[in-house]
Structure 1
Amino acid sequence: MIARAIREAADRRSIRRPRVTGFEALPGKGVRGRADGREVLVGGPNLLDGLGRALPADLARASEAWGEEGKSVITLAVDGEPRAVFALADLIRDESREAVERLRGMGIRVAMLTGDSEAVAKWVARELGIDEYFAEVLPQHKSE
C-alpha cells in the first residue's frame, strides 16, 4: 500500500521511476534495492538505525511535525544519505469504527497492536476510541 501510494504520487508529478534491481524487504524497517546503479532504501523510522546517519535538520523538522499530526513518515536514502521524507495519512475505514463500537457495546475492552509509530498509533487509537495500543511492534513480535 505504501509503495503504491508513493508510485502513484510520482506518476501524477511525471517523475521518472528507474528500473529497480536487487530488491530486498527489510522486515520492520522498509525495503532496499538498486536504481541507476545506486543503493536506495525506503522505509519507516527505524530505517536509518543501521546506517549511523541522522536526518538533516530540515527533514527532521518535517518528519517530527508530520508525526505529531498522526501521519506515517517514510524516509528515502540514496547511497546511505537521507534525501527525502514523505508523509502518508492513515484513512480510518467506517467498518473499523463500527467494529470497535460493536466490541465496546459488548463490554469488550479493545486493544490495538501495530507496527506504526507511537504518534500514528496514538492518533488512530484516539480516533477509534481504542482503550490501549502497542506501537512500533515488529512483524515477528506481533504473535507474542
Structure 2
Amino acid sequence: MEFESAVRTVGTVLDAVGVAIILVGALAGTGLFVRGVLRGQPFGDTYRRYRQGLGRAILLGLEFVVAGDIIRSVAISPTFQSVGVLAVIVLVRTFLSFSLEVELRGRWPWQDRAPRPARRSAGETDGDPPGGADTGAADR
C-alpha cells in the first residue's frame, strides 16, 4: 500500500503544480494586460500578448496535470472514468496547442513555413534585374 499512496501523492503534487501555473499565469497576464492598457499601449497588441501568455500558461499547467493523471493511471489500476478524463484532458491540451500555434505563427504545426519574398533594392522594379534597368550587357 505504500507504493500506491506515494503514487497518489506524486500525482496530487503534479496536479497542484499545474493548477498553480495556470493561476499564476492568469494573474500575471491579467496584471500585464491592465498595466499595458493603463499606459496607453495599443489595445490590439496588448490583448494579443495577453491571450498568448494566458494560452502558454494554460498549456504548461495542463502538461503537469496530464503528467499527474498519467502517473496515477499507469501505476494504479485504471478505471474507465479515469482513462476517459485523461483522454479529454489530452484532447483539450492538443486543441489548445494547435490553436496557440496558429495564433503565434499564423500556420498549422504541420504546414511548411511560407517562403519569404525576396528583398529588393531601392532602384529595382518587377521587370528589372538587380542593379537597375537592362543595359543589354548580357547580350554582348
TM-score, length-scaled by structure 2? 0.23
Q: Radius of gyration: which is bigger?
A: 2
TM-score, length-scaled by structure 1? 0.22
More strand by share: 1
